[in-house]
Structure 1
């Protein structure tokens, strides 16, 4: 079944994003039919332009995930590098997986996966991989112990201190953007970032044709607003679809 959607809402801990569509978009048939931002000239776009759009979407997804799970008291930023010049992505991923299992056990004394995190791989100038990890619920572990748990190179960790909660997702994601771009460019079809399965997902709502969110959107709450024209495929033809986007502080 395919249903029409006039509005889409995504809510994190500190803001709400609202998309209002002039013409109802479709969902429920396939991923291809969901919340389309496609342009009718997509077949003519270069690979790099498509990757740029994918990178932007991945960045926004990561920002929302961070904002939803961020905790002022326990969130930490961890970077791991290897002494050996490891340039094989699969090899580094295996080392990372083993480290996270050891870290989880040391933190919670359990083999159950309790750590909440997002992570992005990044290549150094020498070609070796390292990884940036944002840990949402890691209790205090001495630096020396962290080094022993990793045992393959250097460890850098600090508590994330951000004055304004409105910008925490954006602030943290900027340190991961280079890795997101590299992953999409060099490993098309692979994940641009990693995340644990126990994270809280941003709330997503689909508002049907005759429903209104006028009471939600008010000038005093709007942090950002934009209007643009997207493309929507109707009966095999691409038509223009005006979109109004609001970002509202909670």
Structure 2
């Protein structure tokens, strides 16, 4: 096989494999196109690709790590101008930094911003090893108890414990990564702590890993590629 071309890419997660099969072999090294002189159509495509890459990275992190909390952060307008991107980003980053110091860098998180229709900024996160106090509330949402993180002094939090369906969690978080947020600001579309695991990636190794794609494993297809998912054998017999 010509190693200068990629026919398939396998990502290995703790409980599954994801296989991408290219219908036309893809060159390993491709020259990036210049950003100069791009028309509106090209810029729009770049944004779409950027959103897709961000969603893929967030999904990879969630599928490769164990998170136990989903948290929504809402800013108190009396304390933060929640329509000011810079102010919201700064407050969120400072809070995350303090929690990391308290946890001795053990806290794990992936967090994404959301811009509401009225322009207000919110953040949604999956987390684990949170070092602060958690306050139980009397609120039940979607048959789940709601809790508050008492250390967040810039507004309000809505925390719910996660179940074990990582793919469902990944899909839910990724829906907040939108094209609209990209065009609003040049800031990152997500933040992730530096202590997260990533999937192991293999090139042209589908056969050696005994991954046989068929209609049952197919999850997506277009004119360029197919995507397949396989549970690991130990998961099937667990």
Query: Shorter-chain TM-score: which interval?
Result: 0.7 to 0.9
CA drift at 1:28: 4.7
Q: Give the aligned length.
A: 213
CA drift at 1:66: 0.7
Partner of 1:117: 109
Once the two structures are superposed, residues 93-145 of structure 1 have per-residue CA deviations (whole angstroms, 9 ceiling, x without a partner) of 22112211232344x3x3xx221111011123443322111103336732289
Q: Is the 8 A contact 2:110 2:193 kept in 1?
A: yes
CA drift at 1:44: 7.7
Change (3 A) 1:81 1:214: closer
- Separation of aligned partners in 2, 1:23 and 1:126: 44
Change (3 A) 1:45 1:122: same
Structure 1 segment 85-100 matched on structure 2, within 5 A: 85-100=81-96
Q: Which has the higher helix share?
A: 1
SS at match of 1:143: strand
1:215 aligns with 2:210: yes
Q: Is the 8 A contact 2:134 2:150 kept in 1?
A: no
Partner of 1:233: none
Q: Which structure 1 segments of 5+ residues have no match?
A: 34-41, 231-242
Change (3 A) 1:226 1:86: closer
- Separation of aligned partners in 2, 1:22 and 1:124: 39
CA drift at 1:225: 4.4
Partner of 2:139: none
Q: Is the 8 A contact 1:8 1:206 kept in 2?
A: yes
Q: Is the 8 A contact 1:76 1:159 kept in 2?
A: yes
SS at match of 1:45: helix
1:229 aligns with 2:227: no
Report the aligned-residue RMSD: 3.3
Change (3 A) 1:90 1:44: closer
Q: Which structure 2 segments of 5+ residues have no match?
A: 137-146, 233-238
Q: Is the 8 A contact 2:213 2:228 kept in 1?
A: no
